[in-house]
């Protein structure tokens, strides 16, 4: 009886070892040969005026500039004191630059500080847009625009839906 029991236990251990090796071997092969489809991230967005931007934040800003009827150029390269910088938006009718600081990180923060210094050295009008401003981006952007754009009536645009950006009627 004990001999039978020892064969039974030994056979069970061999089966368990083979099962574990087969299971992990199969997982390894699946990783190597089985390409899992990952969700594709959207990296380009088309605005209402046809501009192609890099983020949802830029999409919202560009569409709002378009709705307000403000002529703008996206990602224009400008030389400031001999150094080229690429601004997010340039408003040629008002000589105003708009930068959306949508990323974080040491290198990005360093470049942000460098760009702000260049705008100050060049005596250029800059509107800086930070992520916290997106809690009410339409009002915040219009308030910043009013500081630099005197001739345009920004009240004609009305209130906007925070989800889709459409103009809300008088009920809201």
pLDDT per position as a tens digit, 63-87: 999 888 899 999 999 888 888 889 9
Tokens standing for 119? 């705008």
Q: What is the mean pLDDT of the chain?
A: 84
pLDDT tens column, 105-131: 899 899 999 999 999 998 999 999 999
* In contact, 102 and 73? CB cutoff 8 Å: no
The whole-number pLDDT of residue 172 equals: 60
Q: C-alpha distances in angstroms, 128 versus 111, 161, 168?
A: 14, 23, 26
8-state DSSP, 150: -
Q: 161: exposed, middle or buried (C-beta count within 10 Å: 0-12, 13-18, 19+)?
A: exposed
How far is residue 94's CA from residue 43's CA, in Å, rounded to a whole number?
30
Structure tokens at 65: 């500039």
Q: What are the tens digits of pLDDT across the range 28-59?
A: 878 777 766 667 777 899 998 899 999 999 99
**pLDDT value, residue 24:** 85
What is the predicted pLDDT for the residue at 22? Answer: 84
Q: Quote the CA–CA distance of 34 and 29 in Å, as a whole number.
A: 7
pTM of the shown model: 0.68
How far, CA to CA in Å, does 62 sit from each of 21, 71, 82, 168? 56, 10, 28, 19
Give the per-residue pLDDT at 31: 79
Judge whether residue 154 has pLDDT over 60: no
- Residues 133-155, mean pLDDT to the nearest whole number: 82
CB-side neighbour CA atoms (13 Å) of 83: 11
Q: HSE, CB side, 13 Å, CA atoms: give it for residue 90.
A: 13
Q: What percent of the chain has pLDDT over 70?
A: 85
């Amino acid at each position: 009886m004990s001999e039978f029991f020892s064969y039974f236990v030994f056979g069970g251990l061999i089966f368990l070892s083979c099962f574990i090796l087969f299971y992990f071997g199969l997982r390894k092969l699946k990783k190597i040969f089985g390409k899992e489809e990952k969700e594709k991230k959207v990296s380009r967005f088309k605005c209402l005026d046809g501009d192609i931007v890099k983020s949802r934040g830029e999409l919202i800003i560009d569409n709002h500039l378009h709705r307000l009827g403000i002529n703008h150029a996206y990602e224009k390269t400008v030389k400031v004191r001999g150094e080229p910088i690429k601004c997010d938006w340039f408003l040629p009718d008002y000589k105003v630059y708009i930068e959306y600081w949508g990323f974080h990180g040491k290198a990005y923060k360093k470049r942000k500080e460098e760009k702000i210094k260049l705008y100050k050295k060049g005596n250029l009008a800059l509107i800086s847009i930070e992520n916290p401003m997106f809690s009410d981006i339409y009002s915040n952007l219009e308030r910043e625009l009013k500081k630099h754009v005197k001739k345009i009536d920004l009240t004609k645009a009305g209130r906007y839906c925070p989800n889709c950006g459409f103009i809300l009627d008088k009920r809201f």
